[in-house]
Amino acid sequence: MNFFKTFLASCLGSLVALVVLVVLLVSGMSALVSSFSDSERMTTVSENSVLHLKLNGNITEVETDNPLEGLPIPGADEVNTGLLPLKQTIAHAKMDQAIKGIYLEVSQFQGGYAVAKEIRESLIDFKSSGKWIIAYSEAYSEPSYYLASTADKVYLHPEGEIEFNGLAVEISFFKKMFDKLEIKPEIFRVGEFKSAVEPFFLDKMSDANRLQMKEWINSVHQTSLHDVAESRKINEVDLKNISDKMLITDAREAVKYHLVDSLFYIDQVQAEMRSKLGLAKNAKISLVKYKKYKRSFSNASTSKNEIAVIVADGEIMPGRATEGTIGSDTFAEELRKARTNEKVKAIVLRINSPGGSALASDVMWREVTLASKAKPIIASMSNYAASGGYYIAMGCDSIVAEPNTVTGSIGVFSVLFDLSSFLDKKIGITFDEAKTGEVGNITSFTRPLTELEKTIWQKKTNKIYEGFTGKAAKGRRMPVEKLLKIASGRVWTGAQAKENGLVDVLGGFNDAVAIAARKAGVEKDYKLRFYPQQKTFFAQWLQDMEDNTRTKFLRQELGDHYDTYLQVKKLKNYSGVQARLPFEVQWK
């Protein structure tokens, strides 16, 4: 009897679940059809409107629209903002008579300082039309305030906070973990500043790395202070003192030191906007969100002259591109198409990369040099264009970087991991090898390298560094001896790189496009087209769902060892010769 009760209860539960699933599916499909219909219609913007920019999410180079946004299903709330579409939208709002101002909400900006500077320049250009910007937040992080400081009025919640105490970077070191696991890294590098491998054999920064890190963040901070001082009309020396001593610890002190204009609640901010718009008390403010406003206009052009924008965003890897990586085969294919396409009059490489595989970087460099012989090709550097990221830029006619772009790091390293002791003592697996000569499997992780094999690896690394520096010197049209003095893996900001000849122009994406158009002779008649084409939202969504499912099972299976698994997995990307930024940082 109990069996039948249980069986019937299970059937009833399954039936209810099925009905709920069908209802959700039907409502979801209905909303999705409506979403597609909305996306196909041009948004109509009413007169006396305000563009609402909420920049707290992920900022990427390009963006993928999310037609599932707002639906009660996984992935529906994952929305990213593309830097380049955002800049185009702000530029259009500047000329749109319906838009009277911008309401800027930014508390935890995640785009990096070079991207923040690009957005700042767009906001400042917007204000040049005579329109206004109001910024409001319950709390401002340091990079968030850097953006908000462009506003005519910066408001903060009366009990809010503002972080304004300078910059710090934090590097993770794994030596003690390797010691516990009995994993021995075999490291070969060229350049005293090429410190990407230091976390594997040190437990703190080397003197050389500490020097370059301090000079780097000081340069980024100086740019930030200069820009904020100019926007807020504060003496730069006084502003540095405020930052160095962290004189602002609460909202009232933010007003005292003129970083914030007033402490307002949201209703007071709305009242201020109504006043600027000439609206009556309690009248509805026409706020137009970025995603919606973006559909109110089209950048389509009938021009037959095309400037191809090839976006290189992520780590550099051989083969086809995947999410978060620059695949050398994909990049080379897109560049080859642009080079041979007669409609393409110039090329802009938009680079946001810390580097990666030295071989993949060289494959892409070759295509850049071939393209430069056929038509103008300009590099536009985003947050990072370092090591392998600089490798693919150095063959361009001109290199444009923001003052706080991270670049340079001209150096290489090779790293292998000897897991023999870990496998033997921790797991109980041993290996043996038979070979025909003195050198066996030179990439083996099951035994230590012999002295001869170590010599071979160092020789290979030296040879690649020689090629890297030689090509960099040729691309920058300077003697190799001079190039070597600024190489050695040393990291530079864009401002420093401009001084030492690694960068031609300080500026953003728009500057790079203008240079490309001028060199191609199409200043007044061109259109932009971005490559490679982004995955459709659904293709990316399905991939993310698959990845999330795999991650969930791995977490369940590995438990507390999951984080260790991620670190070991990441080490695979460091195998072989690398042209990679010498650190991974978290802004603090």
Please provide the DSSP assignment of 435-481 as one string.
-SSS---TT-SSSPPPHHHHHHHHHHHHHHHHHHHHHHHHHTTS-HH
């190799």: which residue's tokens? 480
Please indicate whether residue 34 is annotated as part of the active site.
Answer: no
- State the Cα–Cα distance between residues 290 and 81, nearest whole angstrom: 9
Provide the sign of the torsion angle of the four alpha carbons 404, 407, 408, 411, taken in this order: positive
Closest CA to 82 of 106, 118, 46: 118
CB-CB contact of 61 with 389 (8 Å): no
For domain 306-431+438-587, the CATH class is alpha beta
Within 8 A by CB and 6+ apart from 85, the residues are 62, 63, 294
Q: Which amino acid is at 533?
A: Q
Query: Count of alpha carbons within 13 Å of 586, Cβ hemisphere only?
Result: 4
Q: What is the pTM of this model?
A: 0.82
Q: What angle do CA 241, 242, 246 make, to 5 degrees?
A: 115
Q: Which of 194, 294, 345, 375 is catalytic?
A: 194
Residues contacting residue 253 through CB under 8 Å, at least 6 positions apart? 247
**Structural tokens at position 233:** 């009309």
pLDDT in the model for residue 35: 45
Q: How many CB atoms lie within 10 A of CB 314?
A: 20
Cβ count near 522 (within 10 Å): 19
pLDDT at 369: 97
| CATH ID of 49-164+248-296, from 3.40.50.2000, 3.40.50.2020, 3.40.50.720, 3.90.226.10 | 3.90.226.10
User: What DSSP state is assigned to residue 572?
Assistant: G
CA–CA separation, 143 and 7 (whole Å) = 59
Burial of 274 (0-12, 13-18, 19+ CB in 10 A): middle
DSSP code for 575: B
Among 387, 409, 414, 420, the one annotated catalytic: 387
Cα-based torsion angle of the residue sequence 46, 52, 53, 54 in order, rounded to the nearest 10 degrees:
-140
Distance CA 223, CA 493 (A): 10
For residue 498 the two structure tokens come to: 């401009």
Return the ∠ at Cα 128 (arms to 124 and 129), rounded to 5°. 130
From the list 241, 274, 277, the residue with the least C-alpha distance to 259 is 241
* Vertex 452: Cα angle to 449 and 457 (nearest 5): 70
- Strands 132-140 and 406-408, bridge-based pairing: unpaired
Is 327 exposed, middle or buried (CB count within 10 Å of its CB: 0-12, 13-18, 19+)? Answer: buried
Please indicate whether residue 144 is annotated as part of the active site: no
Q: According to the model, what pLDDT value does residue 20 have?
A: 46
- 49-164+248-296 and 306-431+438-587: identical CATH topology: yes
Torsion of CA 100, 106, 110, 116, to 10 degrees: 50
Of the candidates 505, 513, 534, 406, which has an alpha carbon nearest to the alpha carbon of residue 112?
406
- Residue ranges of the chain with per-residue pLDDT less than 50: 3-8, 16-17, 20-21, 23-27, 29-40, 75-77, 536-546, 585-588
Nearest residue to 390 via CA among 475, 323, 452: 475
Separation between Cα atoms, residue 288 and residue 44, nearest integer Å: 10
Return the DSSP state at 51: E
For the chain, the domains span 49-164+248-296, 306-431+438-587
> Among residues 64, 80, 114, which one has the least CA distance to residue 380?
114
- Report residue 268 as tokens: 């007071």
Q: DSSP E strands: which ranges in 321-376?
A: 325-327, 344-353, 355-357
Phi, psi of 235 (to 5 degrees): -60, 130
